[in-house]
Amino acid sequence: MSAFAIFVEGQTELIFVERLLFEMLGYQDLRIERETQHGGLYHEIGFRGAPPGNVCHNVLLVNCACDGKVLSAIEERANKLRNAGYDRILGLRDIYPAPSDELEEIYELTANRLVSMPLPCKLVIAVREIEAWFIADTEHFLRYNSLLPSAFIQQKIGVDVAQRDVEQIPHPAELLRKIYNLVGGTYGKKLKEAHRVVNILNYEYLYLEAPDSVPALKKFVDELDVAMWKSPL
């Protein structure tokens, strides 16, 4: 049995991570309690999955909602979470709009702070934006709209999504918006737009194959494995 907390930056990350966990573990063995931060306070926004009791994995999923930064939230809550029986904390943030070449320095600075936490804490940086991971599942564009094969996207906006290193995309959310725009769709911060994308992603691919070519995603799923099974699979 595991009990761990995941702190994410926004609602897109929250619904993506929630779906990823359920795809990995199923609804019988997992219970996710969700919270969102507003004005420095954490509000419960309901639970998903198995009822409380004999579940294998209890996850607290916290949306820091932009104005509450992930690292601050982890530092603020670490003691209480340890006292409440959680054995690990995982954070997920991005660095947009800061340049990617600062990534290693940020990892180092962050690790130096997290080492003093009262329970194991790790923070994963989805490099530019989490939407880069969505783009890595290039087949999802066809599931979004059958008129969106990679060749068509390349022809229209000059980007070969199949070949591109997604971590090098400067503004992944904007690229996603441009691609969906080709067929009259859009992508922004609205919940329904995030749900639409998250619902058509191939999680088997994102968990098993995409990490080979997307280092940040590999770090994240490895940390999830450690949190659930105490070691990477």
Partner 1 sequence: MQLKNIEYKQYEGDKREWTVEPASFGKINLIVGKNASGKTRILNVMAGLARILAGKQQVLFDSGDFKATLVTPKGKSFVYEISMQNNLVNRECLSCGDNQYLIREGSGPGKIKTEPKGEMVDFQIKPNQLAIFLKRDSLQYPFLEEIAAWAESTEHYEFATLFGPNSIGSPGVLVSMDQIKDSEKPLSRDFKHREMLQLLVAVAINKFSDPFKKSILADMNQVGYDLEDMGVGVLSDIKMIPPPFGIWVKERDLQCNTEQNQMSLGMFRALSAVIRMNLPEFTNAPSAVFLDDVGEGLDFERSVGLIKTLIEKAEKGGFQLFMTSNDRFVMNEVPLKYWSVIIRMGSLVKVKNYENSRDEFNKFEKLGLNNFDYFVANSSRT
Least distance CB 13 / partner 1 (angstroms): 13
By beta-carbon proximity to partner 1, the closer residue of 117 and 159 is: 117
3-state helix/strand/coil string of the chain = CEEEEEEECCHHHHHHHHHHHHHHHCCCCEEEEEEEEECCEEEEEEEEECCCCCCCEEEEEEECCCCCCHHHHHHHHHHHHHHCCCCEEEEEECCCCCCHHHHHHHHHHHHHHHCCCCCCEEEEECCCCCHHHHHHCCCHHHHHCCCCCHHHHHHHHCCCCCCCCHHHCCCHHHHHHHHHHCCCCCCCCCHHHHHHHHCCCCHHHHHHCHHHCCHHHHHHHHHHHHHHHCCCC
Least distance CB 70 / partner 1 (angstroms): 6
Tokens 């619902």 sit on residue: 199
The tokens describing 219, both together, are 């770090």
Q: Could you tell me which residues come within 8 angstroms of residue 190 by beta carbon, excluding any fewer than 6 positions away?
A: none
Least distance CB 67 / partner 1 (angstroms): 6
Least distance CB 110 / partner 1 (angstroms): 6
By beta-carbon proximity to partner 1, the closer residue of 9 and 18 is: 9
By beta-carbon proximity to partner 1, the closer residue of 71 and 201 is: 71
By beta-carbon proximity to partner 1, the closer residue of 64 and 228 is: 64
Least distance CB 64 / partner 1 (angstroms): 9
Chain residues binding partner 1 by CB under 8 A are 38-40, 67-72, 75, 93, 95, 98, 102, 105-106, 109-110, 113
By beta-carbon proximity to partner 1, the closer residue of 31 and 93 is: 93
Least distance CB 126 / partner 1 (angstroms): 12
By beta-carbon proximity to partner 1, the closer residue of 82 and 93 is: 93
